[in-house]
Amino acid sequence: MGGGTLQGKRAVVTGGSSGIGRAIAIAFAEAGARAVLVTYRGNADGAHAVVEQLARLRVEGSAYQLDLADPTGPDRLADEARRRMGGVDIWVNNAGADILTGEWGERSRLEKLAYVLEIDVKGTAIASWAALELMRAQATGGVIVNVSWDHVRQGMAGENPMVYAAAKGAVLAFSTSLAREAAPKVRVNVLAPGFIETAFGEQANPSWRAQVERVTPLGRWGRPEDVAHAAVYLASDAAAFLTGQTIMINGGVVM
């Protein structure tokens, strides 16, 4: 997999205030992007810290508050991205519902299911349509990258995995259909991370963390930067003949 370059590109990364989204925004800047707009729902401090990091990399960074529970939000985001950057070459739908940590970790399974379907499925679909409409109006087209989950291909027992698989499996299925609809002007691909060192991984039980390492052929948890490197590749011209494809970043847990 070539690293690819994003020289002069303009990118939107939803959920870019921390974790994987933050890593993707910074990796885009390091790969030569000219401008990166990150969205956040509640973590304004984190989003502005990312913007400051982008500025240190001499990239035009900006933050925009977006709640994917509001179906009008993605269209307004597209308008704002056009106003701030003149257009969007890369749009990453990374934002999703967290049902594993915080207050949502204690909710009922029905509440969790409704939440992830609203944010991860409906939110990703509406945001993808907004990105596609924007990119189709551009002479250069663009690239959409959506985020799924590696275990939708294999399954995992447990209440939370079942709920999460329902949403992220739908994202994967939606994205392959979107890729056919968007071609040839806009490419659509999917990132499917596995066990990654985000807030969930950091808070996980030590014995379970060790178990994950034992069942991972590459012997460790993934880092947000591992996902970000794959995002750079999919967004770059090095992946110019890829659409409707899924890259699993998981150290080989699911093959």
Domain boundaries, the chain: 10-249
Give catalytic residues, as residue numbers.
164
| pTM across the whole model | 0.96
In one letter, which amino acid is 101?
Answer: T
pLDDT band with cut points at 50, 70 and 90 for residue 205? confident
Secondary structure element (H or E) that encloses residue 247, with its range: strand 246-249
pLDDT band with cut points at 50, 70 and 90 for residue 2? very low
Residues in a beta bridge with 190 = 146, 246
Residue 250 has which token pair?
A: 């998981």
The mean per-residue pLDDT over the stretch 191-216 comes to 90
Q: Give me Rg for the CA atoms of the chain.
A: 17
pLDDT band with cut points at 50, 70 and 90 for residue 105? confident
pLDDT of 202 over the 90 cut = no
Reply yes or no on domain 10-249 having CATH 3.40.50.720.
yes
Segment 56-90, tens digit of pLDDT: 999 999 999 999 999 999 999 999 999 999 999 99
The mean per-residue pLDDT over the stretch 199-224 comes to 90
In one letter, which amino acid is 233?
Answer: Y
